[in-house]
Amino acid sequence: MGENLRVLIYGLGPIGALVGKYLDRKAGVELVGGVDIDPAKVGKDLGEVVGLGRSLGVKVVHERDALTLMKAVKPHVVVLSTGTYLDKIYPQIVRAISVGANVISTSETLAYPWYRYPELATLIDEYAKKHNVRVLGTGVNPGYVFDTLPAVLSSVAVEINRIHVVRSLDAAKRRYSFQKKYGLSMTPEEFKAKISSGEITAHVGYAESVMLLACILGVKIDKVDEGQEPVVADKYMETQYFKIEPGRVSGIHGWGVGYVGGKEFIRYDLYASVGRQDYDEVVIEGEPNIRWRNDLGVSGDIATAAMVINMIPRLMKAPPGLITMKDVMTPSAFLGDFKWFT
């Protein structure tokens, strides 16, 4: 038997904390460090910050001390859950790789980084290979509902004409940072202005999921289209965090479409608003037709933590470099050219 898997959590918001809390229950895992910039977390015990209700004897450090900490504790894996955009988290990834750590992150744009950040993706890939480690972006979405799940469901199809995934969820049940970034209680004008300026994002990753799924299936996408519009409340509503007057934003409808030969090949619809029914549905039109539905809805935050935790063993076995869910899964259909494998 080998040594314990040493894990450091970098970014201890709701997601990083949840990953830490569930990782603590896993055999053979040792939480060796925590990094954040929030003064409310820095200096506290990691066990307290992730909500274990007991001390782990490990203090959360500020990001400026991250490199020193990582050199001292030598994590096998850094769980990175600080942010969405790869250009912002790039220095954090480089820091982790430089000490020989593998990186698994919930950054949405890292799920298929060649779409939005091809140069950074190449740099990370080369640097990770040089240090013999792997870097993976995953989560519930991107990472599962819009990409890995339909890929796995497609395994029993010999022809596919179109894939349509619908994710419908009640925004009132989600964490504060989720409700805030979806613009709850804003006017529709404010929502549109803040989405345009990047002040709020709502969902990020429609295009990444399109490209990831197409890449797994061996299909070349000609064009990707993505967008989001506000859902407006027709009556007063409230969540644990927001009071929403009629006419104000109660959620979003977002979409991502991948075209092949001028026709929709992949289509995603995300409905996330207060009071909305929770469900996920995948329809694959092909031979044979496939329809899958989860009437409970794939849970958001726990599913993200689960994806991070469950992918760690696969990450450790994957080839070095910048990888995607394509490299750690997967039964799926393959629609590309079989010559690629000869």
Binding mask 272-311 for ligand NAP (x = CB under 6 A): --------------------------------x-------
The residues that bridge with 281 in the sheet, in sequence order, are 166, 293
**Secondary-structure breakdown of the chain: helix, strand, coil percentages, each rounded to the nearest 5:** 35, 30, 35
Of 9, 31, 35, 328, the one binding ligand NAP by CB under 6 A: 35
Of 29, 60, 69, 108, the one binding ligand NAP by CB under 6 A: 108
For residues 192 and 255, give the distance between their C-alpha atoms in angstroms, rounded to a whole number.
Answer: 15
Contacting range for ligand NAP; rule: CB under 6 A; set: 9-17, 20-28, 150-158, 314-322: 9-17
Of 14, 218, 321, 336, the one binding ligand NAP by CB under 6 A: 14
Q: Which of 240, 284, 304, 273 is nearest to 20 (CA)?
A: 304
Residue with token string 């496939």: 290
When the beta carbons of 82 and 273 are compared against ligand NAP, the nearer one is 82
When the beta carbons of 9 and 290 are compared against ligand NAP, the nearer one is 9
Within 13 Å, how many C-alpha atoms sit on residue 211's CB side?
Answer: 19
21 contacts ligand NAP (rule: CB under 6 A): no
The residues that bridge with 249 in the sheet, in sequence order, are 232
109 contacts ligand NAP (rule: CB under 6 A): no
Taking the complex as a whole, the smallest distance from the CB of residue 161 to ligand NAP amounts, in Å, to 28
Of 102, 106, 209, 332, the one binding ligand NAP by CB under 6 A: 106
Which 196-235 positions form the footprint of ligand NAP (CB under 6 A)? none
241 contacts ligand NAP (rule: CB under 6 A): no
> Are the CB atoms for 37 and 69 separated by under 8 Å?
no
Cis peptide before 239 (omega within 30 of 0): no
DSSP designation for 59: B
- As given in the structure block, the two tokens for residue 286 are 């092909």
Cβ-based neighbour number of residue 173 at 10 Å: 18
Of 55, 122, 177, 310, the one binding ligand NAP by CB under 6 A: 177
239 contacts ligand NAP (rule: CB under 6 A): no
When the beta carbons of 78 and 233 are compared against ligand NAP, the nearer one is 78
Of 5, 7, 9, 15, the one binding ligand NAP by CB under 6 A: 15
Taking the complex as a whole, the smallest distance from the CB of residue 278 to ligand NAP amounts, in Å, to 16
The residues that bridge with 268 in the sheet, in sequence order, are 165, 256
| Own/partner pairs, 231-240, CB within 8 angstroms, 24+ separation | 231/271, 231/273, 232/188, 233/274, 237/172, 237/274, 237/275, 239/171, 239/172, 239/179, 239/184, 239/274, 240/172, 240/176
When the beta carbons of 136 and 214 are compared against ligand NAP, the nearer one is 136
Binding mask 69-88 for ligand NAP (x = CB under 6 A): ------------xxxx----
Which 36-55 positions form the footprint of ligand NAP (CB under 6 A)? 36-38
Which 128-157 positions form the footprint of ligand NAP (CB under 6 A)? 139-143
| Residue sitting closest to ligand NAP (CB) | 13
| 3-class secondary-structure state, position 145 | coil
Q: Contact residues for ligand NAP (CB under 6 A)?
A: 11-16, 35-38, 63, 81-84, 106-108, 139-143, 177, 304
